[in-house]
Structure 1
Amino acid sequence: MTENSTSIGNRPNAGVSALKGRTGAGAPAETRGRTTIADGVVAKIAGMAAREVPGIHTLGGAMGRAFGAVRDRVPGTGSSVTQGVKVEVGERQTAVDLDLVVEYGVSIVDVAGDVRSNVIGAVERMTGLEVVEVNIAVDDVHLPDEEDESASGEGRVK
């Protein structure tokens, strides 16, 4: 077997990552050069994927949510998709840490598993990076009668 072929269907460069790349006239176009993916890109993808899972109320610890509520009230700024998301990105792998607030009544174990699956699938599909771990910290449970400070439009003090 030559350096440019693998046992996967004997296709040239079948095992070469598009992120790392190869050069030269004989290399396929998708492997010529190098692709770098910023931490913020992976964090946004992971944040969106986590929020898609039923049973997730929001992301972020108490302090982060408090700062987020203040930031949301400033004109021209929106809620941050990356709130409650931390990532480490290498050349071919990434790790994700999430701070979650779940809805009362859901199985935290099931929701955490669904979040892991959704985040891993989205990040790997969109970036080509291997997700080595998704660490989840459940910081709070949102009760049905609790009112979101950011949704009410008013603070406690007038």
Structure 2
Amino acid sequence: MVSHETEKPQSAPAGRQAGVGGDGSGRQVAQGDRGRTTIADGVVEKIAGLAAREVPGVHAMGGGIARTLGTVRDRVPGGTSSRSSVTRGVKAEVGEVQCALDLDLVVDYGYAIADLASEVRESVITAVERMTGLEVVEVNIAIDDVKLPDEEDEEDSGRTIR
């Protein structure tokens, strides 16, 4: 008698219940024995953005133009400010079982940039891996500016004094 068994996928590393494969829509699909889980790139970007902002010394995220446009967009009633402000300065590239992230940061003056970048990297990796099950292979950090103590925040610069 000839056996016609199909090979089962190898089990995922400890802590992971499913492998991830692309479905062609810019989303990644985790496939398990009982269904699929889809994780959008924006989900990973939100998680990473929140984790980075929790680190003391991170003043803001995004390049100068992105922050300026984001500030204007945040002031428009009914705009998409909550999602855009959380993901501002974060770009995720999600693959089959791994992801890579690029972060643009503005740091507060007085913090050691190398130490701060290391703390941000650890915070982001921990949060993304814990929440998504994806392996974070790299977190690239670009420091776009340093917020000096006597500088006015961009959010405050559009206000008029009466």
TM-score normalised over the length of structure 2: 0.78
How do 1:1-158 and structure 2 match up within 5 A?
15=13, 17-20=16-19, 31-77=33-79, 78-79=81-82, 80-154=85-159
* 1:123-142 deviation digits (Å, cap 9, x = unpaired): 00000000000000000000
In 2, Cα distance between equivalents of 1:130 and 1:31: 20
Q: Which runs of 4+ in 1 moved over 3 A?
A: 13-17
- Separation (CA, whole Å) in 1 of partners of 2:34 and 2:155: 47
- In structure 1, list runs of 5 or more residues that go unmatched: 7-12, 22-29
Identity of aligned residues (%): 66
The 1:39–1:69 alpha-carbon spacing in structure 2 relative to 1, beyond 3 Å, is: same
The letter of the residue matching 2:75 is R
Q: Which runs of 5+ in 2 are unaligned?
A: 1-6, 21-31
Contact 1:94 1:130 in 2 (8 A): yes
| 1:18 and 1:35 in contact (8 A); partners too | no
Q: Deviations over 1:88-122 (max 9, x none)?
A: 01121100000000000100000000000000000
* Segment of structure 1 superposing worse, 61-70 or 71-80: 71-80
Distance 2:102 2:65 in 1: 16
Aligned residue identity for 1:36: T
TM-score (norm. length: structure 1)? 0.79
